Amino acid sequence: MSGIAIEVRGFSQFFGDICKLNALDLDVHRNEILGIIGPARSGKSTFLCGLNRLNDLVRGSRHEGTVTIDGRDIYEPGVDVVELRRKLGMVFATPVPLPRSIFENVAFGARMAGIRDRARLDVLVRDCLEKCGLWEEVKDRLATSALKLSGGQQQRLCLARILAVMPEFILLDEPTSGLDPISTMKIEESLRHLKKDYTIILVTNNTKQAARVADRTAFFLSGELVEVGPTAKIFTAPEDRRTDEYLRGRFG
């Protein structure tokens, strides 16, 4: 690891009177895959949406504590939220390709950022598709609709679309929950390669997936961080009894 990328201190998230996250303290290391596991309604997705301030879009939301990226609290006045969300690209459980061609899906964000030169766009699109392991599958049909791709291909395309706007972080909210094992394997392979250049946070309900790809794993329960540590240790010698019981399938 090469230092701390995100520092979370005493972070709580409320929606009205309901507390969804309670006083989290968590560091995210640069160029790691941090897996986040836990049962439903444990706060995993709420935490991801807190990192790029998507929770702000929910009426009645408020927070306490700090989330520091590059030395600045992302909730302090004057933060450019649009730029923050570009920096922390997010992929959701259900792929949502644009109703455009495969090429235009990847190029869309770059065009919005002012890149118009076709040669630059060609290089960018190929690079992003290669990073997601999709180029060889689609290189001969870039002009066809992205909606014709399989679910697994659409999810990798959505990941490529995020990469095209040059984020520093990739946030993944159960990205393979609806995919077959082969598609899941391809996305996991992509993540292993991508961590050389990006810091990745992977929320997953599949504990085996966390065991396969995460460098460290955090266990959330009822809005609290129970423990975090190297994945091998979490899965073989957790410090907290609740972590052990969850991994053994006794609840969740």
- HSE-up (13 A, CA, CB side) for residue 126: 8
Residue 1 has pLDDT above 70, yes or no: no
Does any domain span residue 252?
A: no
> pLDDT tens, 50-97?
999 999 999 999 999 999 998 899 999 999 999 999 999 999 999 999
Q: Which two tokens stand for residue 9?
A: 């201190």
In a domain, 156, yes or no: yes
Using H for helix, E for strand and C for coil, what is the string for 102-146? HHHHHHHHHHHCCCCCHHHHHHHHHHHHHHCCCHHHHCCCCCCEH
Three-state DSSP state, 180: coil
- DSSP H or E run through 241: helix 241-247
pLDDT band at 227 (very low <50, low <70, confident <90, very high): very high
Write down the pTM of the prediction.
0.95
**Looking at the domain assignment, is residue 68 inside a domain?**
yes
Is residue 28 situated within a structural domain? Answer: yes
**How many domains does the chain fold into?**
1
- Residue 105: closest CA among 117, 96, 118: 96
pLDDT on residue 2: 58
Residue 191 falls inside a structural domain: yes
CATH number at residue 135: 3.40.50.300
Q: What is the pLDDT of residue 59?
A: 94
Two structure tokens written together for 1: 């690891």
Residue at 46 is within a domain: yes
The predicted-structure confidence for 171-188, as pLDDT tens digits, reads as follows 999 999 989 999 999 999
Residue 39 in domain? yes
pLDDT in tens, 114-125: 888 999 999 999
The dihedral sign for the CA sequence 202, 205, 209, 215: positive
Q: ∠75-89-201 over CA atoms, to 5°?
A: 85
Whether 150 is covered by a domain: the verdict is yes
Q: Which domain holds residue 234?
A: 4-247
